[in-house]
Amino acid sequence: MKVKPEEALREYQTLKRRREKELESLKGEYSDEMRRLVKEILQLLKELEEKEPPSKVDRRLLSMALRERKTYVTALRKFFSSLESIDDLGARLEKVSKYHVGHGRYLMILFEKDIYRVNKLLKELSELYGRYVSEISGKSLPELRIGEIMGEMEELKREISLTEGELNSLRKRLEELKNAPYEETDEIENERRRREELKVKIRTLRTELRSKASKLHKPLKRMRLPEAAPFLKDSSYALNNPDEFLNLVKRVYPKLDGKAKKASDWLLKNLSPKLDELRKLEEELELVEEHIKEAESASSDRRLEILRTEERVKRLENELHRQRSRLKSLEKRLKEEIRLLEGLLSES
């Protein structure tokens, strides 16, 4: 019989309520029979408790038998006084089963027939419970989780949909990130080439200026002028302090000749403009360095974002695999429970 899960569930609930009523009625019947046997046992215990022991019995044997009788009667009476249903009996049956074989050798010697009568009823109780368990097992319905499984499947499908949506967004973002860096890489490479070009120009220009200035080194050294000392110590003084250096050149110019005078002419005419050119080149280099640093930082941030996005994609792929596997497992369990339910409804 093939039915829709929702329809089958309604039929199952109807069948379950009917079976529960049958089981409750069955429980009542067996509980009544149990109470009848318990009543007989309590009556036998009362008779045993009040029964006079045989005469002409060894005092020591009598004392020990009476002590065992008191313990036996008290224990069984306490046990049966708290029983309310056949289920209570089942929960404690193992505890009372030890009384089937007796409760002390001295008690059995003096009250053997009474003990056997009680044990006979205890055995009947045990058999009664066995029949009860057997009968309710045939009538009890298995606990089906169809509704719960279907609810869990719907929730899982929503989770899968959310995971797929997030995963698709991350994959799209990852593709954008991986495609974007190529332009930035070209930009960085261009800036790096420009940086090297500027460094060469700056180095060349500095070398040229220092070379021209160094041609005044020997004549100034011979003149022993105190104000020439910084320059004689380091020719970079001409580049770092051009005004002071040019004033010094003008002062000694009349005393110069040959290459020194020719160098002085060049310096007086070109040092200031060349230094302006040098400063502009250094400023441009500084800007290029900043651009490279920013671009490399952005590229580094993007690479880091790519790594993090890839990790997140991997985690979500694993999560999606787990969710789909769980859904597949639930679908299998649902089919099994529906087959079981169809079988129950067909039998009913």
Q: Are residues 187 and 98 in the same domain?
A: no
Angle at 79 between CA 73 and CA 80, to 5 degrees: 90
Q: Are residues 222 and 319 in the same domain?
A: yes
182 has a pLDDT exceeding 70 = no
Q: Are residues 137 and 163 in the same domain?
A: no
Is residue 166 within 8 Å of residue 320, measured between CB atoms? no
Q: Are residues 202 and 233 in the same domain?
A: yes
Domain end among 141, 171, 203: 141
pLDDT at 131: 92
94 has a pLDDT exceeding 80 = no
pLDDT at 257: 87
Q: Are residues 101 and 192 in the same domain?
A: no
Any domain includes 147: no
pLDDT at 313: 93
Q: What is the pLDDT of residues 293-312, one digit of tens each?
A: 887 777 777 788 888 999 99
User: Domain containing 324: what range?
Assistant: 154-341
Please give the span between the terminal C-alpha atoms of the chain, in angstroms, as a whole number: 12
Q: Are residues 263 and 135 in the same domain?
A: no
Domain end among 116, 141, 166: 141
pLDDT at 183: 54
Any domain includes 148: no
Q: What is the count of structural domains for the chain?
A: 2
Any domain includes 346: no
The whole-chain average pLDDT of the chain stands at: 85
Question: What is the pLDDT confidence band of residue 101, given thresholds at 50, 70 and 90?
Answer: very low
Any domain includes 149: no
Mean pLDDT to the nearest integer, 167-192:
80
Q: Are residues 133 and 255 in the same domain?
A: no
Mean pLDDT to the nearest integer, 333-342:
84
**What percent of the chain is predicted at pLDDT more than 70?**
93
The 3-state DSSP composition of the chain as helix, strand, coil percent (nearest 5) reads 90, 0, 10
Q: Are residues 20 and 123 in the same domain?
A: yes
pLDDT at 171: 92
Question: What is the pLDDT confidence band of residue 1, given thresholds at 50, 70 and 90?
Answer: very low
Any domain includes 24: yes
Any domain includes 253: yes
325 by DSSP, 3-state: which? Answer: helix
Q: What is the pLDDT of residues 19-73, one digit of tens each?
A: 888 888 988 999 999 899 999 999 999 998 998 888 888 888 888 988 888 888 8
325 has a pLDDT exceeding 90 = yes
348 has a pLDDT exceeding 80 = no
Q: Are residues 268 and 216 in the same domain?
A: yes
Q: What is the pTM (predicted TM-score) of this model?
A: 0.48
Domain end among 141, 173, 188: 141
Is residue 135 within 8 Å of residue 26, measured between CB atoms? yes
Q: Are residues 188 and 132 in the same domain?
A: no
Any domain includes 348: no
Instruction: State the burial class of residue 69 (Cβ atoms within 10 Å of its Cβ: 0-12, 13-18, 19+).
Output: buried
pLDDT at 347: 56
Any domain includes 85: yes
Q: Are residues 56 and 193 in the same domain?
A: no
Q: Are residues 119 and 257 in the same domain?
A: no
- Two tokens at 166? 């997030």
pLDDT at 100: 46
Mean pLDDT to the nearest integer, 241-269:
89
Q: Which pairs from 106-112 meet CB under 8 Å and 24+ separation?
A: 106/61, 106/64, 106/65, 106/68, 107/65, 107/68, 107/69, 107/72, 109/61, 109/65, 110/53, 110/54, 110/57, 110/61, 110/62, 110/65, 111/48, 111/51, 111/53, 111/65, 111/69
207 has a pLDDT exceeding 70 = yes
